[in-house]
Chains A and B, each alone.
Chain A
Amino acid sequence: GENVEQHPSTLSVQEGDSAVIKCTYSDSASNYFPWYKQELGKGPQLIIDIRSNVGEKKDQRIAVTLNKTAKHFSLHITETQPEDSAVYFCAASKVINAGNMLTFGGGTRLMVKP
Chain B
Amino acid sequence: DTEVTQTPKHLVMGMTNKKSLKCEQHMGHRAMYWYKQKAKKPPELMFVYSYEKLSINESVPSRFSPECPNSSLLNLHLHALQPEDSALYLCASSQVGLQDSYNSPLHFGNGTRLTVT
**A binding-site residues for B, Cβ under 8 Å:** 31-32, 34, 36, 41-46, 49, 51-52, 89, 93-102, 104-107
- Greatest chain B CB density within 10 A among A31, A95, A98, A102 is at A98
B7 at the A interface (CB under 8 A):
no
Q: A46–B106 contact, CB under 8 A? A: yes
Contacts of B33 in A (CB 8 A): 99
* Alpha-carbon separation in the docked complex, A43 to B104 (Å): 18
Contacts of A95 in B (CB 8 A): 97-101, 103
B39 CB → nearest A CB, Å: 11
Contacts of B98 in A (CB 8 A): 95, 98
Which of A34, A36, A98, A101 is in CB contact (< 8 Å) with B45? A101
Which of B31, B92, B110 is in CB contact (< 8 Å) with A98? B31
**B binding-site residues for A, Cβ under 8 Å:** 2, 4, 31, 33, 40-43, 45, 48-51, 55-56, 90, 92, 94, 96-111
A99 CB → nearest B CB, Å: 4
**Given A32-B102, A51-B102, A93-B103, residue A43 in contact with residue B108 (CB < 8 A):** yes
B16 CB → nearest A CB, Å: 29
* Alpha-carbon separation in the docked complex, A36 to B92 (Å): 13
Contacts of B40 in A (CB 8 A): 107
* Alpha-carbon separation in the docked complex, A101 to B50 (Å): 12
5 contacts between A and B (CB under 8 A): A34-B106, A95-B99, A96-B97, A97-B55, A98-B31
A100 CB → nearest B CB, Å: 4
- In the A-B complex, the 6 residue pairs with the smallest Cβ-Cβ separation, listed nearest first, are A95-B97, A104-B42, A99-B48, A43-B108, A98-B50, A97-B55
Known: A44-B90, A99-B96. 18 other contacts (CB 8 A): A34-B106, A36-B108, A42-B110, A43-B90, A43-B111, A44-B43, A46-B106, A46-B107, A52-B102, A95-B100, A96-B55, A96-B56, A98-B96, A98-B98, A99-B31, A100-B106, A102-B45, A107-B41
